Amino acid sequence: MPSPVRQALEYAAAMLGFSGLGVADAHAAQGDKLAHFVAEGKHADMEWMARHLPARYNPELVLPGVKRVIMLTYEYPRQSARQAGGSIARYAQGEDYHKLLTAKLADLDETLQFYGGAQRYFTDSGPVSERFFAAQAGLGWIGRNGLLIRPGRGSYCFLASILTTLELPPDSPMPNRCGNCHRCEQACPTAALQNGCCDARRCLSYWTIEAQTAMPPEIAAKQKQHLYGCDACQEACPWNRPHAGKKMRIDPHLLMPAPLQNATAAALGALSQDDFARFFAASPIRRIGVEHMRRNTETGNF
């Protein structure tokens, strides 16, 4: 029978719109895959990954006395809403998910405080191996594209984590069900996916979002319609087939507004700094800045 804490947490999470919840042992052995990834330079110039590596391997450095990592999923749109040329990654179609989910995590933190827990919480914003712990918590498995894949729901979701000092019963991981499928690797425009790892140095999402330097010619030649991010590996995944997750609730804050649906790549590239800030005021796209957006429009084929 679920503990009263778990029951209260699941009820509160469902009311806040989270689609899944699982609990993992904060001290589960993570292996050396991430360390090898950084040592081989596959994180490109995302130096924060190397800088926070010790904390990712040791959650005690993030929250002393931590016992469990509570992992949650939150759905984002499964279909692209763009009407004009230039694709935008589905996760970034609506409002900034960091702000949206952080407020919800604060509410769950209050619930856990009521039961005597101390917490820290993040959504893609802290030194937590979120995909690893989501798999440990039984929410899915890590696919060959490096993303969490959930049976019947696929990979179109945000992950959020709550580190807690409460000793909740942990859930059990599920087996990897990718089998012999390599469609994500085959669909990657730049061959960035190999052996279940995404090499950022070749990834279009990295070059159109994170990179601080100009895109190399050999990558730019593959950019084509990718204006911001790339969903090619998710689009190819059988677990994301069109009817999967069709009953999942999508927060209206994550839907693409009409001005962005219809804005051409050329128009977005021509925005002044002030106009760019206003146009993307509530969007995660704002963080790349007007110059990066301009580079993306110049290297793509729109």
Residues designated catalytic:
124
Structure tokens given for 245: 């997750």
Burial of 58 (0-12, 13-18, 19+ CB in 10 A): middle
CB contact at 8 A, 228 and 289: no
Check the CA dihedral 182-184-189-193 and report its sign: negative
Amino acid, single-letter form, for residue 144: R
Asked whether 67 and 164 are in contact (CB, 8 A), the reply is yes
For residue 216, the 8-state DSSP code is P
Helix axis angle, 4-15 to 97-114, nearest 10° = 150
Count Cβ atoms below 10 Å from residue 260 Cβ, excluding itself: 20
Give buried/exposed letters for 28-47 (b at 16+ CB in 10 A, else e): bebeeebeebbeeebbbeee
